[in-house]
Structure 1
Amino acid sequence: MARSMTMKQSQRLSNAIILIILLIFGCILMTPFAWMISVGFDRTANVTMPFPPRLIPENVSSFNYGIIFENGRIFKAYLNSGIVTISSVLITVSSALLGGYAFSKGKFKGKKLLFLIVLATLMIPIEPRLIPLYKLFNSIGLLNTFWPLILPSLVNGFLLFLCKQFFDQLPDTLREAAQIDGAGEFKIFFKVYFPLAGPIAATMVILSFIWSWNDFLWPLVVLNNQALHTVPLYLASFSLENGTNLGGLTMALATVSIVPIIIVYLFLQRYIIQSIALSGVKGE
């Protein structure tokens, strides 16, 4: 009995130590974000950046945020990013779910080879693809539109792999029972497997939302019209126009730009661990 109590106490102590270590590292990781928010509320940061850096401004002011929302350009950038991101998320998640189901449960010639080709795309970074993609969209007259930012989302090798691993964990007997009842492949997917794919779908929504919202290099290449600029491009143009002279405004704008990502993540983050555990990525 005494030994059991000792083991429980040691376990509690180790858990407490781990929790303290995680809290310390969490605070360290959150420090840059807290400083960014702090500078955004510091009106004097537009004259000179506070040094040494402080987490609490001497005179808290919403002046910088008022200036950001006053000119209206941020709302246009938000609208542009919203159109691109929502469209990309819908296309990416839909194609990944359908493709993952096909690679997992489907039976067709060349499935393994095709899946290897899809995985091979993960080894090619965006930089070598910029020129071919630019020439492709230029030849069909889609530059300076949102289509070059949306259409490439149709195939995402990582999310396809994630979906396939998830559907591999679901029993084939569900599909066989539906086939006995006379259901076709699309009906099997939407009626049987799709309702079970909530966790993996939520994870893909988070990942694709972050990728699309934060995308900078590709939009910079294909969007020359300032009216079509997304939030990252607007933030970059604002920084180029003002340099480091308006540090408070720049930090306030950076804070506003990440708010949608934080909101989406807070709503859906509980599904990430669950979906990764079910998808077999943990090394099983």
Structure 2
Amino acid sequence: MNNTMSMKKMERITSIIKFLILLIFGVVLMAPFIWMVSVGFDRTANISMPFPPRLIPEEPSKFNYGIVFENGRLIKSYINSTIVTVSSVILGVSASLLAGYAFSKGKFKGKKIMFIVVLCTLMIPMEPRLIPLYTLFNKMNLLNTYYPLVLPSIISGMLIFLCKQFFDQLPDTLREAAQIDGAGEFKIFFRVYLPLAGPIAATMVILAFIWSWNDFMWPLVVLNDLELQTVPLYLASFSLENGSSLGGLTMALATVSILPIIILYLFLQRYIIQSIALSGVKGE
């Protein structure tokens, strides 16, 4: 009895220690973000940045955030980023789900070679592709439009790989049973496998959203019109125009710029957990 109680006590102490360690790491990781939000509420930071850095401003003010939400250029850049990101996510995730299912369950010639080619694209960074992509869209007269920002994101080697690995875990017996009932490949995909793909779909939406929303280099190359600026481009131009001044306003802009990513992640996190709990099927 005493041994059992002592073991439970040790487990409780171990759990408390783990919790404290994770809490410390969490606070350390969150400190820069908290400081960014705090500086946004510090009106005096527009004159000089507080040093040493403080997590709570001496005189909190909504002045900077009020200016941010009244900023017409920021609102326009938000609209541009929303159009580009939503289009990229819908097209990219849809194409990746179809391609991942085809590579996992499909039977056609050259499947392994094509999948290897898709994986090889993961080893090519964006920088070597800038000039060929720019030349292509320039010849198509699509520069300074949304198309160069959306079309390249339709094919994503990483998302296709994630989908393929996920569908590999689902049993082939589901497909065979549907084929016996006379269902075609598209019907099998949309009626049988797609409802089970909630976890991977939510994960891909988050990844694709972050990649598209935070993309800076490619929009900088193909966009010259200020009316088409995305949020990262506007934030960079605002920082260059004001230099080290208006630090509070810059931090407020940065905070507002990442809010959609945080909201999306918090919203989809619940659906990921629910999807895993309700439809976690593993192939044997």
User: Do Structure 1 and Structure 2 share a fold, with TM-score over 0.5?
Assistant: yes
State the partner residue of 1:36. 36
With over 3 angstroms needed to count, the CA separation of the structure-2 counterparts of 1:39 and 1:279, relative to structure 1, is farther
Deviation at 1:70, TM superposition (A): 2.2
Between the aligned partners of 1:8 and 1:261, the Cα distance in structure 2 is 41
The 8 Å contact of residues 170 and 281 in structure 2, kept in 1 or not, is answered as no
Please give the residue correspondences for 1:189-228 in structure 2 after superposition, counting only pairs within 5 Å: 189-228=189-228
The 8 Å contact of residues 167 and 279 in structure 1, kept in 2 or not, is answered as no
The 8 Å contact of residues 162 and 279 in structure 1, kept in 2 or not, is answered as no
Indicate the percent of aligned positions where both proteins have the same amino acid.
74
Between the aligned partners of 2:24 and 2:109, the Cα distance in structure 1 is 53
The 8 Å contact of residues 200 and 271 in structure 1, kept in 2 or not, is answered as no
State the partner residue of 2:186. 186
Deviation at 1:271, TM superposition (A): 5.3
1:20-52 Cα offsets, whole Å, 9 max, x none, are 101000000100011101110111101011111
Between the aligned partners of 1:272 and 1:112, the Cα distance in structure 2 is 30
1:69-123 Cα offsets, whole Å, 9 max, x none, are 2231111011000000000000111011000100000000111111011001101
State the partner residue of 1:93. 93
Between the aligned partners of 2:81 and 2:281, the Cα distance in structure 1 is 30
Gaps of 5+ in 2: none
Question: What letter is aligned with 1:222?
Answer: V
* Count of residues paired in the alignment: 278
Deviation at 1:241, TM superposition (A): 0.7
RMSD: 1.5
> Scaled by the length of structure 1, what TM-score is found?
0.94
Gaps of 5+ in 1: none
Between the aligned partners of 2:169 and 2:213, the Cα distance in structure 1 is 31
The 8 Å contact of residues 166 and 200 in structure 2, kept in 1 or not, is answered as yes
With over 3 angstroms needed to count, the CA separation of the structure-2 counterparts of 1:279 and 1:49, relative to structure 1, is farther
The 8 Å contact of residues 77 and 229 in structure 2, kept in 1 or not, is answered as yes
State the partner residue of 1:57. 57
With over 3 angstroms needed to count, the CA separation of the structure-2 counterparts of 1:65 and 1:235, relative to structure 1, is same
State the partner residue of 2:166. 166
Deviation at 1:5, TM superposition (A): 2.7
The 8 Å contact of residues 198 and 272 in structure 2, kept in 1 or not, is answered as no
The 8 Å contact of residues 166 and 279 in structure 1, kept in 2 or not, is answered as no
For the residue of structure 1 that corresponds to 2:260, the secondary structure is: helix
Deviation at 1:11, TM superposition (A): 1.9
Please give the residue correspondences for 1:141-156 in structure 2 after superposition, counting only pairs within 5 Å: 141-156=141-156
State the partner residue of 1:255. 255
1:235-276 Cα offsets, whole Å, 9 max, x none, are 00100111111101100000000110010000112456776x
Between the aligned partners of 1:86 and 1:265, the Cα distance in structure 2 is 15
Between the aligned partners of 2:19 and 2:116, the Cα distance in structure 1 is 41
